């Protein structure tokens, strides 16, 4: 699981652990939040491991996957969740703004998926779940880098599903709408009421809304679903009144 210390990732770690999975999660900088999550779940007798690594670093995926395999011998589920925004109009978007988002959001999905594929193929079972975004379907000004990364994730999800289905591995994506996390704090402060009006369910999403969909896709009950993008947005993209 990448990006597990805060927000949606924290919600997914929590729900997977509560369902009985041993969960190893990667975080980049917020050691305090990561340690607190481990502590809270250990109090509930859950087995959780926090690993500090930068998913944009090309070496990180192999190192992380090797350390999890060393500790627990197998990996059944990979959730590619870590993501960042570096918004800006294209005319002023510098190369780092573009590349940081592509390396973190899209490059990490390639590298972590690549690192788990052989172990999952040899155990003939696996679940890969990629966290995309409805932003890949919108034309939000200022999000060319982010939308490109998430569109790439959805294309990759379909290709990997085709490649890996015969090996017992399903590959799906979850596309959240507008979720209450640190990532959306600035825009919520500016326009929460306007956004809520556009959501059919008339509320913002919560990390657990995404976590429940992810846990379902990771379950045995979802074994015949692959290459799918599950939109979890309370109806935001329906465009109704």
Point out which residues bind ligand NAP (CB under 6 A): 2-9, 26-30, 54-56, 81-84, 104, 131, 133, 176, 178-179, 181-184
C-beta of 7 vs 234, nearer to ligand NAP: 7
Alpha carbon of 196 to those of 105, 141, 190, 192, 220: distances in Å? 26, 19, 12, 6, 34
Residue number, 56 or 129, with CB nearest to ligand NAP:
56
Least distance to ligand NAP, CB of residue 166, Å: 28
Cβ-based neighbours of 89, under 8 Å, separated by 6 or more: 141, 142
Beta bridge partners of 118: none
| 224 has catalytic annotation | no
- Least distance from C-beta 46 to ligand NAP, angstroms? 18
Choice between 126 and 176, CB closer to ligand NAP: 176
Q: What does the block give as tokens for 160?
A: 């990997």
Active site residue ranges = 146
């Amino acid at each position: 699981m990448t990006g597990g210390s805060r927000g949606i990732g924290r919600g997914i770690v929590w729900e997977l652990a509560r369902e009985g999975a041993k969960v190893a999660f990667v975080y980049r900088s917020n050691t305090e939040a990561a340690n607190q999550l481990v502590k809270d779940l250990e109090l509930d007798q859950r087995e959780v491991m926090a690993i500090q690594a930068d998913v944009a670093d090309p070496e990180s995926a192999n190192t992380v996957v090797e350390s999890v395999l060393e500790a627990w011998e197998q990996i059944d589920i990979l959730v590619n969740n870590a993501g960042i925004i570096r918004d800006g109009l294209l005319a002023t978007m510098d190369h780092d703004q573009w590349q940081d988002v592509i390396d973190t959001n899209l490059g990490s999905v390639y590298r972590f998926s690549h690192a788990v594929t052989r172990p999952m193929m040899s155990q003939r079972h696996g679940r890969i779940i990629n966290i995309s975004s409805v932003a890949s379907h919108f034309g939000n000004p200022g999000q060319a880098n982010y939308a490109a990364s998430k569109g790439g994730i959805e294309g990759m999800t379909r290709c990997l599903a085709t490649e890996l289905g015969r090996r017992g591995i399903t590959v799906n994506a979850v596309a959240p709408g507008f979720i209450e996390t640190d990532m959306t704090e600035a825009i919520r402060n500016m326009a929460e009421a306007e956004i809520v009006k556009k959501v059919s369910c008339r509320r913002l999403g919560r990390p657990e809304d995404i976590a429940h969909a992810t846990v379902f896709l990771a379950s045995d009950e979802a074994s015949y679903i692959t290459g799918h993008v599950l939109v979890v947005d309370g109806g935001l993209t329906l465009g109704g009144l």
